[in-house]
């Protein structure tokens, strides 16, 4: 049977796989067309022998079922699946709860896991722009200077502390003041690389999924009861919402932690991609690739996304190695979320690349950057083009970009400002809504480290406060905050976060990775600069516009000298009267100040290399402005009617 024939015969589209426990009834369902027998085993505690075993009954399309006329909330379970005469033990791939370390599944009545007020929890309205802050749950509060009580440090619970008692703003209070609109959390589904029974000093970014639909246990205060991780994860999201922040979940549907996953044990050979010689493909560089494009794989992923959105009130998803998934699946997820929650209510973006090539199902297209134009307009991609044009190559540490000495990048930078809508890249987005502008993320060097390495090559000391690096950091931020598209930043970029040159710190321990809160004081100048840019951006409709026509707002692009460029932005808000009908934006990455003539009209400086979100009127008899070396300037034209 071909893959297609198998899928046609066994495809199951109902949304009831896993365990449904409510109203005094518990229903177990799994999909396994090749199984000869499936035994359900129930345990009253984590460990020991089953107290009850029941044969599952085979129904249509390879779905096995068992119904109990009672609530089994709190019971653990697993399955013995017999295929070709051999019994294999597995947890439930559709599990929504599990034991410590996730080897057994757990029955939960989800209604009993809601924190107080959770049914009424709503995401805050988005103001002006999507400004995304990428954060790891443990990094957020591991530092004792966070002021978070020790039992909550590194945990979901840290997000519920609104005032930490520290003498300066930290954690939630800090996020709120910063003004970002989304918090993007590195993976918090159950991952396998950290021993949940071990001590709190273990660390991993978490790109190694074990149970896709269960929250990670090491962030919970108690892993002996599976409901605690669910409740505390919901509390975290509820608290972020309450404090005006939306929540993005980093999801990793492209591979599993082990090749011998629950999916593989339940339906051997179905969920992964294989090379022609029968070996597993490895486009993820993690040992396996989930076979997006097959009917039940796509159902699994789409249903999992919907589950997190509905049950946990997650507001958006960042897809790891989206280039291993398909255009068709991504567009389907977009459509299903829009139908359920309203168009664009949930944010979707991903990495439009993969580590290695991967054999796709016939008739599917990989969700790679070159296919951005085939993706729905509501699916964003990380713009590595913008990132590298601004600060230089992501792997070649000494190679500079526009802000740190790179030559000949003027034209690219001017393409970046429209989100590559006017060409300049190997792809063409449908609109700037598809572009995520950024200069640093958890992967690769922090922005500070990259700038230190490229500007102080050979004598790099990451602890030194280099003034030239600080200026380049500000200019980098100034540039991507004045590009059309959405904005994304790694937590701590705004306080010169350093990992001392460690470009792949996924298991380098919490001390290296954690946010060092004292740096928010040490680099307050930089924090304030970012804060100003964040606030200013929300007031500039010409840059926030996500329509297809937004690029037409950018005009008068000019290269004035090496490393000096400018452009103007039609900043009219077509819904209401704005303060500035036009913006004039200049990037001067050269070592000299540069004088430019001002277009006609009355202008005020809204940001320059030192301050952002200011209002300094240019005297009316002054026809030009001087932009300092290594800095940007943004001016707004005021006093024009209509």
- Is residue 90 within 8 Å of 265, Cβ to Cβ? yes
Decide the pairing of beta strands 631-638 and 602-607: antiparallel
Burial of 24 (0-12, 13-18, 19+ CB in 10 A): exposed
Per-residue tokens: 32: 């396994």
Residue with tokens 């969920």: 271
For the residues of 207-251, what is the DSSP string, one character each?
Answer: --EEEEEEE-STTSS-SSSHHHHHHHHHHHHHHHHHTT-EEEEEE
Smallest distance from Ca ion to CB 223, Å: 9
Query: Using CB atoms, what's the residue nearest to Ca ion?
Result: 190
Closest CA relative to residue 348, chosen from 306, 288, 296: 306
**Stretch near Ca ion under the rule CB under 5 A, chosen from 188-196, 399-407, 499-507, 630-638:** 188-196
Of these residues, 121, 250, 320, 388, which one is catalytic?
Answer: 320
Would you call 222 a catalytic residue per the annotation?
no
Q: Which of 139, 145, 190, 250 binds Ca ion (CB under 5 A)?
A: 190
Smallest distance from Ca ion to CB 161, Å: 24
Smallest distance from Ca ion to CB 312, Å: 17
Q: How many residues touch Ca ion (CB under 5 A)? A: 3
For residues 46-84, one letter each, b for 16 or more C-beta atoms within 10 angstroms of the residue's C-beta and e for the rest, the string is beeebeeeeebebeeebbbbbebeebbbbbbbbbbbbbe
Closest CA relative to residue 381, chosen from 420, 322, 325, 436: 436
Smallest distance from Ca ion to CB 211, Å: 8
Smallest distance from Ca ion to CB 95, Å: 12
Nearest residue (CB) to Ca ion, 223 versus 635 = 223
**Stretch near Ca ion under the rule CB under 5 A, chosen from 81-89, 157-165, 215-223, 241-249:** 215-223
Smallest distance from Ca ion to CB 94, Å: 17
Nearest residue (CB) to Ca ion, 127 versus 195 = 195
Nearest residue (CB) to Ca ion, 62 versus 217 = 217
By the rule CB under 5 A, 388 interacts with Ca ion: no
Per-residue tokens: 156: 């979901």
Of these residues, 216, 351, 493, 582, which one is catalytic?
Answer: 351
| Interface map 140-179 toward Ca ion (x if CB under 5 A) | ----------------------------------------
Torsion of CA 579, 615, 628, 179, to 10 degrees: -80
- Is residue 376 within 8 Å of 334, Cβ to Cβ? yes
**Stretch near Ca ion under the rule CB under 5 A, chosen from 130-138, 185-193, 345-353, 362-370:** 185-193
**Stretch near Ca ion under the rule CB under 5 A, chosen from 8-16, 115-123, 217-225, 514-522:** 217-225
Nearest residue (CB) to Ca ion, 182 versus 262 = 262
Would you call 608 a catalytic residue per the annotation?
no
CA–CA dist 596, 65 (Å, integer): 74
| Helix (H/G/I), strand (E/B), else coil: 18 | strand
Nearest residue (CB) to Ca ion, 229 versus 387 = 229
Nearest residue (CB) to Ca ion, 18 versus 217 = 217
Q: What ranges in 135-182 are assigned the alpha helix state H?
A: 137-141, 171-178
Torsion angles phi and psi, residue 197, rounded to 5:
-90, -5
Nearest residue (CB) to Ca ion, 102 versus 293 = 102
Q: Would you please indicate which residues are annotated as catalytic (active-site) residues?
A: 320, 351
Residues that bind Ca ion (CB under 5 A): 190, 216-217
């Amino acid at each position: 049977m071909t893959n297609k024939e198998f899928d046609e015969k066994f495809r199951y589209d109902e949304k009831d796989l896993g365990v449904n426990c409510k109203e005094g009834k518990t229903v177990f369902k799994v999909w396994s067309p090749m199984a000869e027998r499936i035994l359900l085993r129930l345990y009253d505690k984590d460990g020991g022998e089953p107290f009850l075993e029941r044969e599952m009954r085979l129904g249509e399309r390879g779905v096995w079922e068992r119904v109990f006329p009672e609530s089994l909330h709190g019971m653990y379970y697993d399955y013995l699946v017999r295929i070709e005469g051999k019994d294999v033990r597995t947890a439930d791939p559709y599990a929504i709860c599990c034991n410590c370390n996730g080897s057994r599944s757990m029955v939960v009545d989800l209604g009993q896991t809601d924190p107080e007020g959770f049914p009424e929890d709503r995401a805050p309205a988005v103001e002006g722009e999507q400004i995304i802050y990428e954060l790891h749950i443990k990094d957020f509060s591991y530092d004792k200077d966070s002021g978070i009580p020790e039992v909550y440090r590194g945990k979901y619970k840290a997000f519920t502390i609104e005032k930490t008692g520290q003498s300066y703003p930290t954690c939630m209070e800090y996020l709120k003041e910063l003004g970002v609109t989304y918090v993007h959390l590195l993976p918090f589904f159950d991952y396998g690389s950290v021993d949940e029974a071990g001590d709190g000093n273990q660390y991993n970014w978490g790109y190694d999924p074990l149970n896709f639909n269960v929250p990670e246990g090491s962030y919970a205060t108690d892993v002996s009861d599976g409901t605690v991780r669910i409740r505390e994860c919901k509390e975290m999201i509820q608290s972020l919402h309450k404090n005006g922040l939306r929540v993005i979940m980093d999801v990793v549907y492209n591979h599993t932690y082990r090749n011998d996953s629950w999916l593989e044990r339940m339906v051997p050979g179905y969920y992964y991609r294989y090379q022609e010689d029968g070996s597993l493909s490895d486009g993820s560089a993690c040992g396996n690739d989930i076979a997006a494009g097959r009917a039940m794989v796509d159902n699994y992923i789409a249903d999992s996304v919907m589950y997190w959105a509905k049950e946990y009130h997650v507001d958006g998803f960042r897809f790891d190695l989206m280039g291993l998934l398909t255009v068709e699946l991504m567009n389907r997820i977009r459509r299903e979320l829009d139908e359920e929650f309203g168009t664009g209510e949930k944010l979707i973006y991903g990495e439009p690349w993969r580590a290695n090539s991967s054999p796709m199902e016939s008739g599917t297209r990989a969700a790679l950057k070159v296919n951005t134009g085939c993706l729905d307009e509501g699916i964003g991609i990380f713009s590595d083009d913008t990132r590298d044009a601004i600060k230089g190559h992501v792997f070649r540490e000494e190679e500079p970009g526009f802000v740190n000495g790179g030559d000949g990048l003027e034209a690219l930078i001017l393409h970046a400002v429209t989100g590559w809508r006017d060409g300049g890249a190997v792809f063409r987005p449908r609109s700037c809504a598809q572009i995520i502008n950024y200069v640093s993320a958890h992967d690769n060097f922090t922005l500070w480290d990259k700038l230190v390495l490229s500007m102080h090559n050979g004598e790099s000391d990451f602890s030194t406060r280099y003034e030239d690096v600080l200026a380049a950091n500000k200019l980098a931020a100034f540039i991507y905050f004045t590009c059309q598209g959405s904005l994304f930043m790694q937590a701590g970029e705004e306080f010169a976060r350093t990992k001392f040159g460690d470009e792949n710190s996924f298991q380098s321990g919490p001390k290296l990775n954690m946010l060092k809160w004292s740096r928010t004081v040490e680099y307050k100048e930089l924090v304030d600069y970012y804060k100003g840019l964040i606030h200013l951006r929300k007031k500039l409709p010409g840059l926030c516009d996500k329509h297809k026509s937004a690029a037409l707002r950018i005009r008068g692009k000019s290269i004035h000298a090496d490393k000096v460029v400018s452009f103007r932005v039609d900043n009219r808000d077509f819904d209401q009267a704005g303060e500035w009908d036009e913006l004039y934006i200049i990037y001067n990455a050269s070592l000299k100040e540069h004088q430019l003539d001002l277009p006609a009209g009355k202008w005020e400086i809204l940001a320059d290399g030192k301050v952002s979100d200011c209002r300094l009127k240019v005297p009316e008899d002054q026809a030009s402005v001087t932009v300092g070396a290594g800095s940007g300037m943004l001016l707004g034209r005021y006093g024009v009617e209509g």
